[in-house]
Structure 1
Amino acid sequence: MLVVRPAGPADFDALMELAVLSGRGFTSLPEDEPTLRARLDLSEASFQAGVAPPEAWYTLMLEDLETGSIEGVAGVKAGVGLKRPHFSFRVVTLAQSSPVLDMRFDHKALVLVNECAGWSEVGSLFLRPEKRKGGAGRLLAQSRYMLIGIEPQRFAEMVLAELRGWFDEDGRCPFWEHVSHKFFRLDFDQADRMSASTDGQFILDLAPRHPIYTELMPVEARDVIGRVHRDGEAARAMLEREGFRYQGLVDLFDAGPTVACPRDDIRTVRDSRRLRVRLGEDAFGEEALVSTGEVARFRAVRTPVLIDGEAAILGREALDALGISEGEMVRVKA
């Protein structure tokens, strides 16, 4: 059985392996040991309420209980832009007209903004390639919303997700090469690592302060603004099924899109129910997403569940995977 559980310091080797597999442009999984170790320490403290709620960053691991292997990772940041700006480019339309010529022109432009400060963020969703079928990705993605639903007050009223932007088959990022590199003058990988492992002061120092007209860009850079990486299409589809929508914001480095949704309108948060567990001798009922009812003991699985009034009847394997006993509370999303 697959289970989603909190990450901790003991998961470093597995997290580093996933970071290497994730490839270029996956900013939230840098191949940087100090950054990943600090993230795991923060995750452990977050689940144990050892940090202020807005500063929490919950990292989740997808584990195969039969083999003990870690198959994927995901995360939830309770608040972004609190200690450093959370910059994006907003895609805007600038209208210009000439009464003399009786003509009007609408120009698309990118404007540096810091609009999402204080929002929560779901991200870092990555699975081993061989695990991207069969529902593992859906379990991992939805577990983030089950976590939010346990104690919504720990999280902001708006939740965002940033999707990786477009890279060519040879690993080139057209937007970085033709636009962002002109301002940052770094290799993409170096800028990506610095974005994840520093306080981001270099972004504040070097990011463009004036609108960038898209018509002045090469076509290959202009065409990838807001375009999702080929490996991110499934993630985008899952986000959209939960109610997330494109916000007209894109990443500074690769122009990947930002999507967002009000916390309480996220489908899994809205539709999951709090029920009391009863043990059934055998697994039966419709398959559903089930999580524990406490953040500190968070675990989530997909398993057959029979709903009987205010009770959820689960098999022994599911109870053991969740680490709970009969009579405890769980959250269930059919």
Structure 2
Amino acid sequence: MLVIRPIEQRDLPTLKQIAIESGHGFTSLPVNDELLQNKINHSLASFASRAGGKGECLYFFVAEDSDTGEVLGTTALESAVGLSSPFYTYLLGKQVHSSRKLGIYNVVETLTLTNDYTGVSELCTLFLREPARHGMNGRLLSKSRFLFLAEFPELFDRRILAEMRGVSDDDGNSPFWSWLQEHFFSMDFPTVDYLTGIGQKGFIADLMPKYPIYVSLLSKQARAVIGKTHEKTRPALHLLEEEGFSWRGYVDIFDAGPSVECEVREIHTVRSSRQLRVHIGEPTQPGQYLISNGRFGDFRALLGDMAINEQQQAVISSKMASLLKVEDGDTVRVAEMKRND
């Protein structure tokens, strides 16, 4: 059984291996020991001292196999983006070129560089390792964050976004970036992806086009991938769409992958979750539930069988209670998972 918990210092070697496995385009996990250590430090500090409200905090979680102790996935929440360093996106919009005298009316698409998501919270760093890509593990890894959001809404913005990895090939070549590289940059996609991941974003403001880009001027290959998601990221996008996330025209400035967003209070799992008291026992006629212990620094979440008795208590097994670190009478947050979810 996979258990979601905050990242710890001992997870660094596995985190580095996950960064290698994640490949090109996964900006939030650069293969850089110092940066990965900084992420762990940031998360440890965020969990060690609970903020009074929304700050620049990182809540980084891992999925641990309860039988082997092996870390098989990562997922994270950033409370606010763009406060210390700019958070850039392109907005896909339209401009009208018309002449009534000549009877000409043309609508053209444009890409405009923005910082519109400044201060918005972000879902990030979702990665499930190959041996764990089966059953409901992907849903647990994605949806567990929503229980944390529901439990501690004061730590986050009213809106939350998720950047989806855009289209690139196995060698890290992005059709969208190839056009930008040809006209404005002299760096390949893996290089800019890495520089962004380690926080060296100054080149963006220095070299990125200052005016809106007419989409019609892009190469056919670049136009074709605007707002499109990498094939390995499509399952993650599908899960977010089920939760109520939608694309509103914002795309990544490097690979043109879509940024989807949702009001936190409108996320399906946030709305449907509820708090119940624990009763340890053998559940009769159980259903499948996403369950978290509701603690902050010692947060735990898992997916398992649970029943709700006549006293409106969450009936869970002693093994599950141990994994969640709860006892009789403690409070858990639960969200029912349909068997065909």
Alignment TM class, shorter chain as reference:
over 0.9
Q: Is the 8 A contact 1:175 1:221 kept in 2?
A: yes
| Number of the residue aligned with 1:316 | 318
Give me the whole-angstrom Cα distance separating, in 2, the residues matched to 1:72 and 1:146. Answer: 17
Give me the whole-angstrom Cα distance separating, in 2, the residues matched to 1:223 and 1:110. Answer: 14
More moved, 200-209 vs 137-146: 200-209
More moved, 116-125 vs 178-187: 178-187
How far did residue 171 of structure 1 move? 3.6
SS in 1 for 2:85: coil
Give me the whole-angstrom Cα distance separating, in 2, the residues matched to 1:81 and 1:171. Answer: 26
Q: Is the 8 A contact 1:180 1:253 kept in 2?
A: no
| Number of the residue aligned with 1:204 | 205
| Number of the residue aligned with 2:227 | 226
SS in 2 for 1:194: helix
Give me the whole-angstrom Cα distance separating, in 2, the residues matched to 1:10 and 1:204. Answer: 37
Q: 1:293-304, aligned counterparts within 5 Å?
A: 293-304=294-305
Amino acid at match of 1:25: G
| Number of the residue aligned with 1:2 | 2
Give me the whole-angstrom Cα distance separating, in 2, the residues matched to 1:179 and 1:331. Answer: 46
| Number of the residue aligned with 1:268 | 269
Q: 1:59-78, aligned counterparts within 5 Å?
A: 59-78=60-79
More moved, 176-185 vs 141-150: 176-185
Q: Deviations over 1:212-246 (max 9, x none)?
A: 11111110111000100000110000000010000
Q: 1:20-59, aligned counterparts within 5 Å?
A: 20-49=20-49, 53-59=54-60
What's the C-alpha RMSD, in Å, of the aligned pairs? Answer: 1.5
Q: Is the 8 A contact 1:45 1:51 kept in 2?
A: no
Residue segments in structure 1 that go unaligned for 5+ positions in a row? none
How far did residue 144 of structure 1 move? 0.8
Change (3 A) 1:154 1:10: same
TM-score, L = length of structure 1: 0.96
Give me the whole-angstrom Cα distance separating, in 1, the residues matched to 2:137 and 2:224. Answer: 32
How many residue pairs get aligned? The number is: 334
Q: Is the 8 A contact 2:72 2:132 kept in 1?
A: yes
Q: Deviations over 1:6-43 (max 9, x none)?
A: 00221101111111000000001110111100001111
Give me the whole-angstrom Cα distance separating, in 1, the residues matched to 2:184 and 2:55. Answer: 31
Q: 1:1-334, aligned counterparts within 5 Å?
A: 1-49=1-49, 53-180=54-181, 182-198=183-199, 200-281=201-282, 285-308=286-309, 309-334=311-336
TM-score, L = length of structure 2: 0.94
SS in 2 for 1:54: coil
Amino acid at match of 2:326: I
Give me the whole-angstrom Cα distance separating, in 2, the residues matched to 1:281 and 1:270. Answer: 28
Give me the whole-angstrom Cα distance separating, in 2, the residues matched to 1:198 and 1:187. Answer: 17
Q: Is the 8 A contact 1:20 1:31 kept in 2?
A: yes
Q: Is the 8 A contact 1:3 1:321 kept in 2?
A: yes
Q: Deviations over 1:172-219 (max 9, x none)?
A: 210011125633322222211211212522222222110111111110
Change (3 A) 1:162 1:114: same
